[in-house]
């Protein structure tokens, strides 16, 4: 799943999700590092897959610094940074709008926008929780658990709490994941679940850290798309249960949940 140098002549905007072409000419890191920002953006728009790795390498430290300044939880900073950079690489590869004049300023503005968007979503989520709590006041622990995040529930219940069995729809989703994932995918997810650092994962995979970030984000995007496809064909009660779980677990962003909630033909 490591990115290789490859030019994609069509499907712009989806090219960074493609698998590498082993027969494509290889360009070393020195070549990519020698490119100016405008040339790098042009390479992204032209479908050069290794341009994604260079984009991440070039701006990872900047985005990590903003993650700290914006007080992103320490355990989430790697994922937050990777998500920002991967989403920007996708946006730039689509070639919509004028090329940014100052790429660093463009990345910085995107960090601030993402933080603001997440704060807005958090406020909306808290409002939903408050409204639900008012509607089911006195209904007990089940109602409270249905609106709280998994992290909050685990913190409140303590280490001795026994997990409840998964609902049927979540068991079916796991089966769908199992059919989609390779052994390499499962290994990568296991490392992420163990909070292994991106640097260590890159070392174990024998690839650069930017390439590891790209690979992780590609896998997350694939899983998010699978969740959307699965939800679109589920019954309305199952979709509602799945959405509640996704919000509690914070497994996907609000944009993905909105896509699930949209009409099936949308």
Positive or negative, the Cα torsion across 204, 209, 213, 218?
Answer: negative
Q: What percent of the chain has pLDDT over 70?
A: 74
- Tell the burial category of 55 from Cβ atoms under 10 Å away from its Cβ (0-12, 13-18, 19+): buried
CB 184 within 8 A of CB 2: no
> Looking at residue 164, what is its pLDDT?
60
186 to each of 84, 134, 141, how far by Cα in Å? 24, 41, 34
pLDDT band at 259 (very low <50, low <70, confident <90, very high): confident
User: What is the DSSP code string of 142-211?
Assistant: HHHHHHS-HHHHHHHH-TTPPPPPPPHHHHHHHHHHHHH--HHHHHHHHHHHTT--HHHHHHHHTS-HHH
User: Average pLDDT of 78-93?
Assistant: 88
> Looking at residue 1, what is its pLDDT?
29
Whole-angstrom Cα distance, residue 228 to residue 93? Answer: 23
Question: pLDDT tens across 3-37, in order?
Answer: 333 333 333 344 444 455 545 556 777 888 899 99
* Crossing angle for the helix pair 37-45 and 77-94, to the nearest 10 degrees: 70
Q: What percent of the chain has pLDDT over 90?
A: 10
Q: Is the pLDDT of residue 218 over 60?
A: yes
> Looking at residue 14, what is its pLDDT?
47
> Looking at residue 114, what is its pLDDT?
86
> Looking at residue 55, what is its pLDDT?
92
Average pLDDT, the chain: 76
Nearest to 218 by CA among 188, 187, 194: 188
Question: pLDDT tens across 176-203, in order?
Answer: 888 888 889 999 988 888 888 888 999 9
Question: pLDDT tens across 88-121, in order?
Answer: 888 888 876 678 888 999 999 999 988 888 788 7
pLDDT top residue among 55 and 258 = 55
> Looking at residue 107, what is its pLDDT?
92
Indicate the DSSP class of residue 98: P
User: Average pLDDT of 161-180?
Assistant: 78
> Looking at residue 9, what is its pLDDT?
30
> Looking at residue 139, what is its pLDDT?
47
Q: Is the pLDDT of residue 72 over 90?
A: no
Q: Is the pLDDT of residue 126 over 80?
A: no
Contacts 24+ apart (CB under 8 A), 119-124: 121/253, 121/254, 124/254
Q: Is the pLDDT of residue 221 over 50?
A: yes
User: Average pLDDT of 146-167?
Assistant: 53
Nearest to 51 by CA among 12, 105, 80: 12
Whole-angstrom Cα distance, residue 50 to residue 256? Answer: 27
CB 88 within 8 A of CB 51: no
Using DSSP's 3-state secondary structure scheme, residue 97 falls into: coil
Rg of the Cα trace of the chain?
A: 20
> Looking at residue 21, what is its pLDDT?
52
Nearest to 264 by CA among 254, 238, 253: 238
- HEC string of 10-76? CCCCCHHHCCCCCCCCCCCHHHHHHCCHHHHHHHHHCCCCHHHHHHHHHHHHHHHHHHHHCCCCHHH
Q: Among the listed ranges 64-73, 98-107, 183-192, 254-263, which one has the minimum average pLDDT value?
A: 254-263
Phi, psi of 172 (to 5 degrees): -65, -35
């Amino acid at each position: 799943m490591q990115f290789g140098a490859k030019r994609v002549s069509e499907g712009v905007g989806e090219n960074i999700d493609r698998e590498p072409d082993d027969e494509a000419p290889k360009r070393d890191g020195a070549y990519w590092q020698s490119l100016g920002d405008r040339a790098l953006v042009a390479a992204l728009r032209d479908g050069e897959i290794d341009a994604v790795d260079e984009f991440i390498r070039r701006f990872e430290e900047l985005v990590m610094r903003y993650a700290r300044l914006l007080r992103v939880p320490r355990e989430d900073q790697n994922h937050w940074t990777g998500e920002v950079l991967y989403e920007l690489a996708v946006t730039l590869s689509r070639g919509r709008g004028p090329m940014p004049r100052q790429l660093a300023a463009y990345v910085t503005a995107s960090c601030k926008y993402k933080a603001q968007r997440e704060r807005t979503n958090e406020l909306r989520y808290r409002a939903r929780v408050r409204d639900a709590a008012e509607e089911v006041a006195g209904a007990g622990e089940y109602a409270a658990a249905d609106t709280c995040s998994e992290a909050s529930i685990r913190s409140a219940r303590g280490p001795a709490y026994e997990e409840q069995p998964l609902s049927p729809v979540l068991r079916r989703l796991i089966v769908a994941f199992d059919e989609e994932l390779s052994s390499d995918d499962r290994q990568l997810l296991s490392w992420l679940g163990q909070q292994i650092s991106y640097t260590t994962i890159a070392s174990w995979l024998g690839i650069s850290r930017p390439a590891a970030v790209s690979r992780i984000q590609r896998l997350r995007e694939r899983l998010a798309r699978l969740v959307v496809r699965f939800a679109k064909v589920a019954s309305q009660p199952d979709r509602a249960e799945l959405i509640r779980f996704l919000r509690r677990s914070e497994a996907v962003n609000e944009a993905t949940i909105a896509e699930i909630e949209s009409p099936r033909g949308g």
